[in-house]
Every structure is written in C-alpha cells, then in structure tokens.
Amino acid sequence: MPADREGSIAEPAHKAGSLLGRIRIPRLNLSAIVLEGSDERTLRLGVGRVPRTAEPGTPGNVVLGGHRDTFFRPLRGIHQGDEISLTTPQGTYRYTVDWTTVVDPENIEPLKATPEPSLTLVTCYPFHYIGPAPQRFIVRARQESSTSAAAPASALPVPGSTTKSFVESRAMATPLRAKVVIVKRTSGNPRALRTAASHRARRHARHSRR
C-alpha cells in the first residue's frame, strides 16, 4: 500500500511501528492495537495507520490497514451504522459506518483526504481468497464525537502555583503527618505523654541557659 497520497499530510508525525492507540468495533468483537505504518512487519503486529493520512481527531481521512486473515477478519460482517471507536493518548474518537465498497488496488480515491473527520479501513478482498487477494475492501465511517483525555486532578499543580511551590507544599506536608503519628502512638498512654512532656521541658531549659 503506497505511503504517499494526494491531498495528504506533508510529513509523517510518528516513528514507524510506534503505538498510536486501539480500535474497537463492539458489534464485531473487534479490538486491535493501532501502530504507525503499513509495512508488512507492522501489519503482522496490529492494524497500521497509512503514513501521511490524517491524525485521529483532525480534519481529514484517517486510513487504517489490516490483514483480512488476522486483525481485520471480522470486517466481513460489518454493516452500515456500526459504531467504531479509536482511542489514543489524546482521547477517544467515535465513528459511524457510512458505506462499504470493493475496489481494485490501483483505485486510491477512498484513501484521499476528506473535508470532514473520517475513518477509512482497508483490507484485502475476498476474505476467503487463497493467495494474494486481487481487490481491496473499504469501510468508510464519519466521526460523530470525541472525548479528550485528561490528566488526573491529583497529578496537577494548584492553579496559579509554580512547579517549585507545588513540590515544596508537598514536602511541607511530611512533618505534619509525622506529628500526627506521634500523637496517635502516645495519646493512649499517660506515662508516655508525661515522658514526652518532660523531654520537651528539659530541651527548653537547655536552650534558655545558652
């Protein structure tokens, strides 16, 4: 499958074979990792994004290829209206299948850029053909919604604070927790409380004489 297409992105954004996310088609029980690239090694490991096609969540056509006898074998049962989700570190993108078609390998029209966010799945056809299949099965879906990924609130600094002040505030909390532990360990023992008070008094007296 050629890597460069008319109307496509100028430069690849990911290293070949790098992990991009996961595709799911619930009705078909299809779930597979998505990697960058459409070379043979990548397609043995998962579904591959054709280089220089759109990024998930951006205007244009995200083109994913997969083998008909492995990860994309369930596509033989796909129907118009089926839901597809594509999850990446940036978020989850949901698509609805608009149409399917069969084309010759030389027909690159379904792989070209689109004005709206779209997803195109490509595999060889017929599914049960023995040997190199002569045609390509195409699934086109439109993006319906997206959900951005968000970092956990506990991992974020306090609004308006610098990274340094956030780290310092976390460090200042440590002695406070130590004091609480001491109180809990001595609060149920009157003798321990008296001993602790005596030690504090002696320290105070020594400092006063200096």
Whole-number pLDDT of residue 178: 36
- What confidence tens digit (pLDDT) does each residue in 71-102 have? 999 999 999 999 999 999 999 999 999 999 99
Q: Of 173, 55, 53, whose CA–CA distance to 110 is shortest?
A: 53
Rounded distance between C-alpha atoms, residue 122 and residue 105, angstroms:
10
Residues in the chain: 210
In this predicted structure, the answer to whether residue 4 has a pLDDT above a threshold of 70 is no
- What confidence tens digit (pLDDT) does each residue in 13-41 have? 688 889 999 999 999 999 999 999 999 99
CATH for 19-148, options being 2.40.260.10, 3.40.50.720, 3.40.50.450, 3.40.228.10: 2.40.260.10
Enter the pTM of the model. 0.67
**Residue ranges in the chain assigned as alpha helix (H):** 40-45, 163-186, 190-209
Domain boundaries, the chain: 19-148, 153-209
What angle is formed at CA 66 by the lines to CA 132 and CA 14, rounded to 5 degrees? 125
Task: Name the token pair of 36.
Answer: 């960058």
**pLDDT above 90: percentage of residues in the chain:** 60
pLDDT level of residue 149 (50, 70, 90 thresholds): confident
